[in-house]
Amino acid sequence: MDLHITHETRYDYASTVELAQHMAYLRPPDTPWQTVRAHQLEIETGMGEETPPTAPAGPDACSLDVYGNHRAYFALDRPHTLLRVTARSALQTRAPRAAARTTSEITWEDLRGQYRYQAQAAWHAAAEFSFASPRAPRHDAFAAYARPSFAPGRPALQAARELMARIHADFRYETQSTEVHTPALEALELRSGVCQDFAHIMLACLRSVGLAARYVSGYLLTTPPPGQPRLIGSDASHAWVSLWLPDLRLSDEGPGAKANQETATDGWYDLDPTNARDGWGTPGEDYVTLATGRDYADVPPLRGVIHGGGAHGLHVAVTVAPEGEALQPGR
């Protein structure tokens, strides 16, 4: 599937920003499930609506962070009251390994045991994601919610899939019920939120029973109402969860098929509690991975430090569309 993504972030400041430094996580990586064909990051500043913004410029530097995510850095020394950062990406995505054919037999107790300290044993890189993080803490409340899915001796993948389905069924998707900084424990009590909240809740549940899971930021291709065109800027960024498993396999197709031992490998298995979709590598061909980390705080689309500015307004517009599809300006 060929997709084009535009992610625009605009800040309007009440007073002049004299100096600013920013970091952007807006370039998708190349993975077995997606290939980036083109990417451009445009940075514009201005002094309000009466003054045209500066000509778009690129970042000052690009690098990989500790998790292998692409990050772009830029510093601004021109006074401004408007900042607009626009990322444009063209990708080709591929269907993941079929969820229905993916198996993993390790029990969640045995998987949990792999992260415990053992003298002279090698440290597994995935173990870092079994610890609490600022947005996805380990807490008895999360363990209690997860417990019905994690019966003794149950395979970890089977339990995680059920947990995903329960979050999808038990929680309401309400855009105004939480904010970007709402703690996961509060969202758990509210039983409502958005994709970021559901991802943090599932992360906290998995970690609270001792498993390693990471936060995935990205995009999801949506479908406009029947008979209506896709509106520019009407989409949003998305978030889901990835669980590390040491024995992922593809089963042979057909009645009575058994797991194909030759395909056994370790890897990350993606689960999206917002939409109850999952898959080995990505939940679907209509998903685009942007970055991975311990939680949202590791990979926000844009972060920064400014001198000045005062109060500010934030506007984000995201468009995810198949290549060649006609688009209509949003309202």
Over residues 145-197, the pLDDT tens digits come to 999 999 999 999 999 999 999 999 999 999 889 998 999 999 999 999 999 99
Q: Do domains 2-93+299-328 and 99-297 have the same CATH topology?
A: no
Per residue in 193-227, pLDDT (tens digit) is 999 999 999 999 999 999 999 999 999 999 887 77
pLDDT at 258: 54
pLDDT at 252: 63
List the domain boundaries for the chain.
Answer: 2-93+299-328, 99-297
Higher pLDDT, 209 or 118: 209
Which residue carries 């690098």 as its tokens?
A: 63
The dihedral through the CA atoms of 181, 185, 189, 193 has a sign that is positive
pLDDT at 265: 83
Per residue in 44-57, pLDDT (tens digit) is 999 976 666 777 78
The CATH fold assigned to 99-297 is C8orf32 fold (3.10.620)
Percent of the chain predicted with pLDDT > 70: 92
pLDDT at 163: 99
pLDDT at 325: 78
pLDDT at 50: 64
pLDDT at 36: 98
Q: How far is CA 61 from CA 21, 54, 67, 73, 237, in A?
A: 12, 19, 18, 5, 24
Q: What share of the chain is helix, strand, coil (3-state, %, to 5)?
A: 20, 45, 35
CATH architecture of structural domain 2-93+299-328? Sandwich (2.60)
pLDDT at 255: 46
Query: Sorting pLDDT into bands at 50, 70 and 90, what band is 231?
Result: low
- Distance between CA 45 and CA 78 in Å, rounded? 8
Question: What are the φ/ψ torsions at residue 150 (nearest 5 degrees)?
Answer: -110, 70
- Distance between CA 222 and CA 33 in Å, rounded? 18
Query: Sorting pLDDT into bands at 50, 70 and 90, what band is 97?
Result: confident
pLDDT at 88: 97
Whole-number average pLDDT of the chain: 91
Ramachandran assignment for 310, one of left (phi > 0), alpha (psi -120 to 50 degrees), beta (any other): left
pLDDT at 262: 47
Residue 251 has pLDDT above 80, yes or no: no
